[in-house]
Amino acid sequence: MADRYSVCQFLFGGGHEYVRWGVTAEEAVMAARHYTDSVAARMGVVERVIITEDGTDDTVFEWLKGEGVVFPTQEDLQELRIQEG
């Protein structure tokens, strides 16, 4: 079975909601981009967006309001490029 992912947005005031679950990596990235670029994110309603790998709950992507993408870091991505040759 192919890897599946979930996308969760965290809202100002402490709430959160899963906006996608059980989707492909491509679908998860498209959804995360949508929620980090949304009007709600620009207004400060959305404070954090993550992608987790279903089954392990490992966070594979994290965006924070005012900081942008904080995980994976540029160093993490560079290391992956080196490992992949």
Residue numbers of the domain that contains 63 = 5-84
pLDDT at 81: 76
pLDDT at 85: 65
pLDDT in tens, 47-74: 999 999 998 989 999 999 999 999 988 8
- What is the band of 80 on the pLDDT scale with cuts at 50, 70, 90? confident
pTM of the model: 0.86
Three-state DSSP class for residue 66: coil
Q: What is the mean pLDDT of residues 30-35?
A: 97
pLDDT at 1: 46
Long-range contacts of 56-64 (CB under 8 A, 24+ apart): 60/5, 61/28, 61/29, 61/32, 63/32, 63/36
Residue 79 clears pLDDT 60, i.e. is over it = yes
Calculate what percentage of the chain has a pLDDT beyond 90: 76
* Number of structural domains found in the chain: 1
| Rounded-to-integer distance, Cα 17 and Cα 62, Å | 15
